[in-house]
Structure 1
Amino acid sequence: MATLNNTTSPTPSILPQVSVLDFFMPGSTSMITTIELVLSMNNYARPLFVCLLLLLPGRHICRYIWGLAETYFASTVHVSQSSEVYDMVVLWVASQPFAHRARSSLAHVGWRRTFSSESDKQKKPLSYSPWDGTFYFMYENHLFWFRSAEKDAGYRKEEAITVSGFGSPAVLKQFFDHCRDEYLKLTENKTTVFEHQEGKWKRTKVRSIRPLSTVVMKEEEKKELVEDIEGFLDSGARMWHTNRGIPYRRGYLLYGPPGTGKSSLCLSIAGRFDLDVYVLNISDIDARAMNTLLTELPSRCVLLLEDVDAIGITQPRQAEANTERAKKDSAKPEGKLPLSNLLNALDGISSHEGRLLMMTTNHIDHLDPALIRAGRTDKRIELPHADKDVMFRLFCMVFKRSTSDIQDPGKPTEDDAAIEQYAHEFVGKLPELEFSPAEIQSFLLEHRGSARIAVEKAQQWMARTREERKKMKRADSFVRVSDLLHFTKQIARILLDWGGKSIHICVGLIANSS
């Protein structure tokens, strides 16, 4: 009996029943059985499992509800990376606390994202902006979110950002106005330079405004130029032109040898009137791209065409109608953009109004008369080599002390009267109209620590500069002779080939006739 009582029978194994669900999802019956066993063993497992089941669909439900709310109740503004608005928004976002807490950021180097003076003291300063995600922030007690993503833009990729928020679109536009105001504060007293990249205008430089007083040229011509531009940019000038059917445009040609301050004058004019500079390099664009770029110009700006004599548009328009053979024989270079297309874009029926056109050239005699005729070029300003007045003012500008200069206690200071005396001595040692203002200024800056030493070494510098010019001329002459010899060899080879073919043809004719 005891034996029977002590005898334990083996526990029968529980075999899971096969259900129809296993035919569609193999192993589902075993999984359900295991879940039921776990839930029966722990009192806390059942509510946790219920919460898990609710959480999975709840997440999708929340996303669906948020998507509906964003679609029907939120406003969104899209910003392209090629737009200047992109710089305004990213610059503001990069300074916000939520951007500093972002787990995903895009790093930028240098001036492209910062204008602070502290960044100038660092080498390759870094700034960061949120990237590849959605980032929420509060503005004027409204919930906004900033999205950044990468999208395809033809054969390349670029960043595309959107800013969205609930409520009236006016609040969102107010936010963009705020970003613009902050951007303009940072660019105050600076000149922004734009260049075309991949068919779009892109900011490439931000420079401190150069005062017109630092541009050394004839004061009368400078005064006339400033007064002429003031009249053109006057608030009633556009209406005045419209009432009389006169195109609201103004064009200027600055010509003279290299180093006479043509580009510096353009930048100073832009800074004087708080205008942005748009540099158009027409040597690498076609007519369609140029028309698009000119259409996107703002109403008030400086359109700068530098060195128009060296970019292949100087041949007359008559040459464009010649045959291909005549084009090959022409000695003048042929650019990618025909001159007629440039002229139509600058002042044709579809041309843009309200801009200042400034062209610079080192050789005005190389330009086609149609490009610089009256109506396209309203004023021509010559910037020659330095005369005595220019040399005197350059000397005083470099050596006279400014109130904002940092004084070196170890160096003796010279008063303005002594500086002017040295300036007269310096001018007496150099000839007029031989050296460019850039050459003279470079020499003076080399000896900016002492006006006396600059005067003493003036003639030595003049002799060295003349010798360097002679060497450059000899090198240029050697290159031209080499080119001439190469051209002569090619002509001789062509004549020999032609002569050989002619002899062969004559021999063939004689043989056939016999």
Structure 2
Amino acid sequence: MSNNQSDPSSTRVSFSPSDTAMLEALVPGYTFISRFVFSYLHIDLAAYLQYFVALALFGASMRYLFEHVSDNFSKYFISTAEMRLDDEIFNYFMYWWSRQPQVKRTHRFLAGVRTNGYWSDEDDSDHERSDSEDEWEDADGSMSTESFDAYWTRVINRDKYKRLRFTPSQGRHYFWYQGRLLMLDRQYEKTTARWVLNNEKLYLSCWGRDPSILHQLLSDAQHKFVERDGSRTIIYRGQRCSSGTTFSWSRCMSRPPRPLDTVILDDAQKHSFLADIETYLEKGTAKWYAAHGIPYRRGYLLSGPPGTGKSSLCFAVAGKLGLKIYLLNLSSRALDEDNLYSLFSELPRRCILLVEDVDTSDITHTRGTSIFPKSARTNADAFPPQAGNGSSPAEVDKANVPEKPEREGITLSSLLNVLDGVAASEGRILVMTTNHPEKLDDALLRAGRVDMHIEFRRAVSEDIEKLYRSIYSVSKDDRTHPSSRRGENGSTTTMQNGSADHPNNPKGVEGEDEENTDNKPNGLRGRQNELRSRIATLAKEFASLVPSGEFSPAEIQGYLLKHKTHPERAIKEVAEWVKEEKEKKGAQKAADNKAKEDADSKHT
């Protein structure tokens, strides 16, 4: 009876040519595979085709069902926070993640010395890493006597190795935060645009419909990021994004605040500028402006010769008030009106918008002029080369090609509208600096756009005296910050204010234990008081030798820095320096006058 039963594996199931062609189209190589299996294994795949189809349908349906259930589960039972690369919260989280213990344990991470710009250069000297350049004491508390060669070798060897930073790699990462299991998914978006770099997003997820743990983590990351800066002044710069032609504010650096008394300026003007900003920022001022229908904006113009401290005053005030500085360059070729409006709309309240050297931009000279106006056509441009005039065919063809239209850029009208137009931002402080205020258009300087004008001057006798005292002043830090100079024989000697080698030494005491002499009449404090009195006397003498109103504070400071450890030598050699500088300025002025005369003669 068994002989009468049919075995599907030994009986060949035949398909019509059309069915075979369809199977060949759906499964390439089906005919060859079926013949091979039947010849060597005696199994007819056609007999089991219905099982294969059912299995394929089951797999497809299960995959669809799994995706559907997974999407609904994620939608209703998982909370997710999305972070984009162009937002500062992205940097907050990356900074927080790089300092977590799980970073050292993970086996998938992205390593780099500058990971996609999440950190800037000054982060190499953050609060967690002490800079050996500022370590002037040995381990036992005594003053360091390390030679310059040994010190510099150590510094150079250290700087060869940039700090390694680790961030999560692409994909999913699970970690614990305050007893909760969280998931981080880092994704890179695919794009065909070549200029789009590192277009990525972060997805932070937790179980449950309560996202409070995510809010707490992101707030913690923000606090860690902000606390890293401490009292430092944060500086942002308006520049083009990596994802196209749009502009945005990007953090470029953070610097320690500068004391306001180090800015050489008339005290009345300095304090008037600071008091006006404080009045503008104090409580109730915004409501007062709104009640009287006045836009809540304030503008300042700082003018004066180069090196007189215009930008320094702005930076010092920002450090004293804890304001962020936003730098804007009006001469950027890629900046247009739309990007200008976008940058101003993104400005936060209570910040300083600094536009340096505003007179160098042509748009501030005449209303309606483009930032890069087309130059006047020369005679050669007016009469292009023609065939038969000694010009080659290539030159003729090149001259006949129409010029591409230049980018219009921004105009003075668009700048004025974004400063105090209907859609202008409020709450910010505009500070413009210029060397030539007479070149600026009157519309830019009217009240409401420029509310206060501060003119900086060249250093007068009072300013010169202040500069000298600031360079050679004696403070509590002089005890731990010695000055080093190169001796005549090439050796390096280490000295400090009050030592035998220092020109300011009033007593000639060398090697004395300063801790034991603090309480003595001629101890450390006594010597410092004598030095302060001596420096005040030398400052008056130095100020009498430098002409008043001829040199900028930057020029005088540059000279004093050459003699920063020799105050008396600075006085002895200042007369020769003044003579040389006057000769240089005279020669430069004569060259400028000659160049101007030549240009006028060519024009006529």
Does TM-score exceed 0.5, indicating one fold?
yes
- Secondary structure of the structure 2 residue equivalent to 1:448: coil
TM-score by length of 1: 0.78
Distance 1:102 1:343 in 2: 55
Q: Which residue of 2 aligns with 1:234?
A: 282
Q: CA deviation at 1:104?
A: 3.4
Match of 1:46 in 2: none
Change (3 A) 1:183 1:105: same
CA contact under 8 A between 1:19 and 1:29: conserved in structure 2? no
- Return the alpha-carbon distance in structure 1 between the equivalents of residues 10 and 595 of structure 2: 96
| 1:371 aligned counterpart, secondary structure | helix
Determine the C-alpha separation between the residues in 2 that align with 1:479 and 1:16: 105
TM-aligned CA distance change 1:403 to 1:113, over 3 Å = closer
| 1:62 Cα offset (Å) | 7.8
Report what 1:116 is aligned to: 126
Task: Specify the SS of the correspondent of 2:353.
Answer: strand
Are the counterparts in 2 of residues 76 and 162 from structure 1 also a CA contact under 8 Å?
A: no
C-alpha separation between the residues in 1 aligned to 2:374 and 2:230? 54
In the alignment, does 2:219 pair up with 1:171?
no
* 382-391 vs 92-101, greater mean Cα deviation: 92-101
Instruction: Output the CA distance in 1 between the equivalents of 2:126 and 2:369.
Output: 50
Q: Measure, in 1, the Cα distance between the counterparts of 2:408 and 2:63.
A: 62
How far 1:204 moved relative to its partner? 0.8
Alignment pair present for 1:336 and 2:420: no
Q: Do the aligned partners of residues 205 and 120 (structure 1) sit closer, same or farther apart at CA in structure 2, a change above 3 Å counting?
A: farther
Q: CA deviation at 1:471?
A: 3.6
What is residue 259 of structure 1 aligned with on the other side? 307
**RMSD, aligned α-carbons:** 3.6
Return the offset for 1:70: 2.7
Cα deviation for residue 252 of structure 1 reads 0.7
The answer to whether 1:69 aligns with 2:111 is: no
Tell me which amino acid in the other structure corresponds to 1:369.
D
Q: Which runs of 5+ in 1 are unaligned?
A: 1-14, 36-56, 489-514
Matching residue's letter, 1:125: R
Residue 398 of structure 2: aligned partner: none
Contact 2:265/2:463 (<8 A) preserved: yes
2:562 is aligned to 446
Q: Are 2:340 and 1:290 equivalent residues in the alignment?
A: yes
Aligned to 2:83: 79
Distance change (3 Å), C-alpha of 1:126 and 1:261:
farther
**Residues 325 and 251 of structure 1, relative CA distance in 2, 3 Å threshold:** closer
Mapped to 2, the partners of 1:99 and 1:28 lie a distance apart of: 53
Task: Decide whether aligned partners of structure 1 residues 192 and 18 sit closer, same or farther in structure 2, where only a CA change above 3 A counts.
Answer: farther
Match of 1:134 among 142, 155, 172: 172
Change (3 A) 1:218 1:335: farther
For the residues of structure 2 that align with 1:379 and 1:264, how far apart are their CA atoms? 17
Cα pair distance change 1:452/1:316, threshold 3 Å: same
The 1:481–1:326 alpha-carbon spacing in structure 2 relative to 1, beyond 3 Å, is closer
- Deviation sequence 1:463-488 (CA, Å, 0-9, x none): 22222223433443454455456656
Cα distance in 1 between the residues matched to 2:168 and 2:201:
10
| Paired residues of 1:212 and 1:272 also in contact (CA < 8 A) | yes
- Asked if residue 410 in structure 1 is aligned to residue 498 in structure 2, the reply is no
Change in CA separation of 1:475 and 1:84 when aligned onto 2, cut-off 3 Å: farther
Distance 1:119 1:432 in 2: 43
Map 1:343-382; keep pairs closer than 5 Å. Answer: 343-382=416-455
Corresponding residue SS for 2:227: helix
Q: Which position in structure 2 is the counterpart of 1:494? A: none
Kept in 2, the 8 Å contact 1:398–1:444? The answer is yes
**Which whole-Å deviations, capped at 9, do the CAs of 1:197-249 have from their partners, x for residues lacking one?**
21111111111111212212111111111111111111211111111111111
Find the counterpart in structure 1 of residue 163 from structure 2.
125
Q: 1:259 and 1:369 mapped to 2: Cα distance? A: 25
Contact 1:311 1:335 in 2 (8 A): no
SS at match of 1:158: coil
Does 2:182 align with 1:144?
yes
1:315 counterpart = 2:365: yes
CA gap 1:159/1:91 in 2 versus in 1, 3 angstroms: farther
Q: 1:335 to 1:251 in 2, by over 3 A?
A: farther
- Would you say the 8 A contact 2:304–2:456 is kept in 1? yes
Report if aligned partners of 2:111, 2:164 keep a CA contact under 8 Å in 1: no
Task: Work out the CA distance in 1 between the residues paired with 2:411 and 2:311.
Answer: 25
CA distance in 1, matches of 2:174, 2:13: 49
Q: In the TM superposition, what is the alpha-carbon distance from 1:159 to its structure 2 partner?
A: 3.5
Change (3 A) 1:33 1:246: farther
Contact 1:83 1:202 in 2 (8 A): no
CA distance, structure 1, for counterparts of residue 232 and residue 12 of structure 2:
80
2:291 corresponds to which residue? 243
The one-letter code sitting in structure 2 at the alignment partner of 1:307 is: D
Q: CA deviation at 1:250?
A: 0.7
1:76-96 residue CA offsets vs partner (Å, 9 max, x unmatched)? 232232222222111111112
1:287 Cα offset (Å): 1.3
Give yes or no for the alignment of 1:192 onto 2:234: yes
Give the AA of the match of 2:74: E
Shift of 1:354: 0.3
1:313/1:246 CA distance change after superposition, 3 Å: same
- Cα gap change, 1:411 to 1:68, in 2 (>3 Å): same
Letter in 2 for 1:441: Q
Structure 2 distance, partners of 1:444, 1:326, is 44
- Specify whether residues 482 and 63 from structure 1 end up closer, same or farther in structure 2 by C-alpha distance, changes over 3 A only: farther
Unaligned runs of 5+ in 2: 1-8, 42-60, 133-157, 241-246, 379-406, 483-493, 499-503, 505-530
Compute the displacement of 1:297 (Å): 0.6
Percent identity (aligned):
32
2:475 equivalent to 1:437: no
Q: Does 1:305 align with 2:355?
A: yes
Q: Secondary structure at the match of 1:313?
A: helix
The separation in 1 between residues aligned to 2:567 and 2:107, in whole angstroms, is: 56
Distance in 2, matches of 1:77 and 1:136, equals 15
Comparing 472-481 with 82-91, greater Cα deviation is found at 472-481
Distance in 2 (CA, whole Å) between partners of 1:112 and 1:261 is 26
